């Protein structure tokens, strides 16, 4: 059945809007090609100490291997104590000490004679005036009942709490580390810690100090963004003033980023001055080889838009510190060369600009999805134009109401609709083609069958890619590209088109349609069919395939990736501009080609299983573009390579099918 011209015009209009939006998104993504390799100062300092090697030399060698930045955290009370810069004790401990002839006696007596709670107060003695000046203001800004007891060259302060709880209290940056990084030509990723009650003055002073050094990014330490909850606007203002980039850290399941209170609000306040951080946690790093660690860095940058790669030394127990350091240098160097060949530049990250899709344009985009849905209904149930246009108007009214009621949900709902509608429409087109070939009984030679099958795959894929364009354009806002928000309904988008195809198969092709009067009789015959053991085994295999299919979708994947497949993936992703999806080129696209050949040679009983496999590929192509953090060009290359490899394997499948048919015909069994 030919599509209605008016609905087709609506679809063309929405596709034009999608193409324009994708162009704008591409321009937003284009400057986002700089990658910072950020070495954790403290982690590499531990390795340096174990080697007896100066930190200056360690950082210099890291820089020579490709490291561009060093991450520096604030010093903790325990670190300052261990370095001999301060003495720390609980007040009750001070009260038990006899300082009769000690220089601290007068100050200690004043502290002891105060009304401070001995079990809830920590006393800190600074070794010199410089250290005192470094810690005084930060401790005061923490809002922990600060008291300054200093006099006559004795530097003492107290704060509320117990030292056991405060020993990891981050107090102040060691700017000597900043100076070392600057001397070596390294950028700095500052890692400030936040405390409730922090003042705007403290935040302003901190950023003014950071501005004296090559600080290019801020990755918050702890569970809160600096300034949370009351001074986020101050932090945002200083971030924009100094031009640094915020670094939200990707979660270990590669979905969104680690929750730090106030971070999302802060990123919005800065106009999305942020770049995603990939940091492989220690537990995961311990499970894999240094080569696999490097491969994960690569995937994070190439496929998931991470632009700050946070490097910690990979330590292997069987190796001595020097060998471990050399191994880390080797793979950091290989990684920097690999991403450079990929077109990335090592250096300070340039964030994406704040971009969004307006409400009117979103309605234009969703009009194409509604038109596609109405086409599906009209294809399955022939309805008159009066009802056709009424259904379209009703759908658009519903979309408009949803956008008014819940605008934050509407764009995701519209994208899910596109991800379901267009692969379904694509497979309906394939079914209609197969039905005509079965009905006409036209038989071509194998060369003609191969050409027609390839052409049908490309046409079907073009329909599905209309859906991909709609999904990728509807969710083009910067918050999606940074994965602060995500496409919802991945599993539904994988399941519903398969259900639509199954229903459409029985409505369009049918089960032994030549023997029955209606679909009800066909279904009754199907349900009355005895199930033989061989069919039960096939159903079992189908169930396993279904588990793997669904288990590989979304970010809560339960199905494993097998060793050989993992090696193939790594080879393809580092050899090609983008790795094609295995299920597309190895299963789905060849299945569609063979399905077409089966229809053209009269083997109708193969259409349902092959069609279900083929539908997976159409869904998968759209799904590639719903990974919004992945740059558009990567998704495009992935789709093109998937089609290319799929066609090649499909041709081989047709040759195999032709050989099987000839073999059995020669024996009179077909």
The pair of structure tokens assigned to 420 is 């379901």
Its domain, for residue 653, covers 22-26+402-666
Tokens 């198969």 map to which residue? Answer: 505
Contacts of residue 163, defined as CB under 8 A and 6 or more positions apart, other chains included, come to: 77, 88, 89, 90, 122
By mean pLDDT, which of 415-429, 476-490, 645-659 is the weakest? Answer: 645-659
Are residues 157 and 223 located together in one domain of the fold?
A: no
Rg (CA), the chain: 32
Evaluate the omega torsion of the peptide bond into residue 40 and state whether it is cis, within 30 degrees of 0: no
> Across all residues in the chain, what is the average pLDDT?
88
Based on the domain organization, do 110 and 243 belong to the same domain? no
Distance CA 554, CA 476 (A): 19
Same structural domain for residues 485 and 517? yes
Mean of the pLDDT values across residues 84-109?
76
Q: What is the pLDDT of residue 463?
A: 97
Looking at the fold, whether 120 and 94 belong to one and the same domain comes out as yes
Total number of domains in the chain? 3
Q: Kindly state the average pLDDT of the residues 494-509.
A: 91
Q: So what's the pLDDT on residue 100?
A: 44
288 and 320 share a domain? yes
Mean pLDDT value of segment 271-285? 92
Distance CA 589, CA 567 (A): 22
Task: Provide the pLDDT confidence category of residue 512 given band limits of 50, 70 and 90.
Answer: low
Helix, strand, or coil here: 584?
A: helix
Q: Cβ neighbours of residue 138 under 8 Å, at least 6 residues apart?
A: 74, 171, 172, 202
Which of 145, 166, 187 represents a domain boundary (last residue)? 166
Four-CA torsion 599, 604, 610, 611, nearest 10 degrees: 80
Residue 98 has pLDDT above 80, yes or no: no
Long-range Cβ contact pairs of 51-55 (< 8 A, separation 24 or more): 51/321, 51/322, 51/325, 53/325, 55/180
**% of the chain beyond a pLDDT of 90:** 59
Residue 10 lies in a domain: no
The DSSP bridge pattern shows strands 306-311 and 155-160 to be unpaired
- For residues 458 and 569, membership in a common domain is answered with yes
pLDDT tens for each residue of 182-197: 999 999 999 999 987 7
Q: Which of 34-38, 196-200, 427-431, 578-582 has the lowest mean pLDDT?
A: 196-200
Q: What is the pLDDT of residue 102?
A: 57
Confidence tier at 518 by pLDDT (50, 70, 90): low
Domain limit, last residue, from 115, 139, 166: 166
Distance CA 635, CA 178 (A): 40
Say whether both 123 and 236 belong to one domain.
no
Of the candidates 140, 166, 192, which is a domain's last residue? Answer: 166
**Domain co-membership, 328 together with 440:** no
């Amino acid at each position: 059945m030919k599509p209605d011209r008016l609905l087709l015009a609506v679809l063309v209009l929405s596709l034009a809007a999608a193409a324009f939006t994708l162009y704008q998104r591409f321009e937003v993504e284009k400057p986002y090609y700089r990658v910072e390799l950020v070495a954790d100062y403290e982690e590499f300092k531990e390795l340096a100490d174990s080697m007896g090697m100066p930190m200056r030399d360690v950082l210099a060698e890291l820089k020579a291997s490709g490291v561009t930045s060093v991450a520096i955290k604030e010093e903790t009370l325990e670190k300052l104590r261990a370095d001999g810069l301060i003495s720390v004790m609980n007040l009750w401990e001070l009260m038990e000490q006899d300082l009769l002839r000690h220089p601290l006696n007068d100050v200690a007596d004043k502290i002891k004679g105060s009304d401070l709670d001995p079990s809830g107060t920590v006393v800190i003695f600074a070794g010199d005036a410089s250290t005192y000046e470094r810690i005084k203001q930060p401790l005061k800004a923490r809002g922990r009942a600060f008291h300054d007891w200093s006099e006559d060259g004795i530097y003492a302060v107290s704060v509320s709490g117990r030292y056991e709880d405060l020993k990891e209290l981050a107090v102040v940056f060691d700017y000597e580390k900043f100076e070392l990084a600057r001397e070596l030509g390294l950028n700095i990723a500052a890692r400030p810690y936040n405390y409730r009650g922090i003042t705007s003055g403290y935040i302003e002073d901190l950023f003014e100090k950071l501005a004296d050094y090559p600080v290019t990014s801020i990755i918050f330490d702890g569970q809160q963004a600096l300034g949370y909850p009351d001074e986020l606007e101050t932090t945002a203002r200083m971030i924009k003033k100094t031009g640094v980039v915020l670094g939200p850290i990707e979660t270990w399941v590669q979905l969104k980023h680690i929750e730090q209170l106030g971070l999302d609000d802060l990123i919005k306040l800065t106009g999305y001055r942020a770049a995603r951080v990939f940091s492989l946690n220690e537990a995961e790093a311990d499970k894999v080889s240094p080569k696999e660690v490097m491969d994960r860095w690569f995937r994070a940058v190439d496929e998931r838009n991470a632009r700050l790669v946070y490097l910690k030394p990979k330590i292997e127990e069987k190796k001595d510190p020097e060998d471990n350091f050399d191994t880390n240098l080797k793979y950091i160097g290989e990684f920097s060369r690999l991403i450079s060949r990929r077109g990335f530049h090592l250096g300070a990250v340039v964030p994406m600009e704040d971009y969004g899709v307006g409400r009117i344009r979103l309605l234009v985009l969703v009009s194409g999805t509604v038109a596609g849905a109405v086409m599906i209904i009209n294809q399955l149930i022939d309805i008159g134009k009066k009802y056709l246009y009424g259904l379209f108007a009703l759908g658009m009214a519903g979309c408009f109401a949803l956008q008014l009621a819940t605008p934050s949900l509407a764009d995701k709902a519209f994208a899910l609709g596109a991800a379901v509608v267009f692969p379904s429409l694509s497979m309906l087109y394939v079914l209609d083609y197969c039905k005509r070939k079965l009905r006409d009984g036209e038989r071509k030679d194998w060369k003609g069958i191969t050409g027609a099958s390839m052409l049908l795959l490309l046409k079907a894929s073009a329909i599905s890619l209309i859906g991909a364009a709609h999904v990728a354009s509807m969710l083009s806002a910067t918050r999606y590209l940074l994965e602060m928000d995500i496409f919802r309904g991945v599993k539904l988008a994988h399941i519903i088109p398969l259900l639509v195809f199954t229903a459409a198969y029985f409505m369009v092709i049918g089960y032994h349609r030549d023997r029955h009067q209606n679909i009800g009789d066909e279904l009754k015959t199907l349900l009355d069919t005895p199930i033989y053991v061989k069919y039960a085994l096939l159903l079992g295999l189908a169930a396993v395939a279904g588990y793997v299919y669904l288990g590989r979708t979304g970010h809560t994947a339960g199905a494993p990736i097998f060793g050989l497949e993992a090696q193939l993936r790594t080879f393809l992703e580092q050899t090609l501009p983008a790795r094609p999806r295995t299920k597309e080129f190895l299963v789905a696209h060849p299945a569609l080609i063979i399905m077409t050949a089966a229809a053209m040679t009269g083997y109708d009983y193969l259409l349902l299983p092959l069609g279900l496999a083929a539908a997976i590929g159409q869904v998968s192509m759209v799904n590639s573009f719903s990974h919004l953090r992945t740059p558009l060009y990567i998704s495009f290359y992935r789709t093109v390579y998937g089609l290319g490899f799929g066609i090649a394997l499909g041709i081989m499948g047709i040759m195999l099918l032709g050989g099987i048919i000839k073999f059995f015909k020669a024996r009179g069994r077909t």
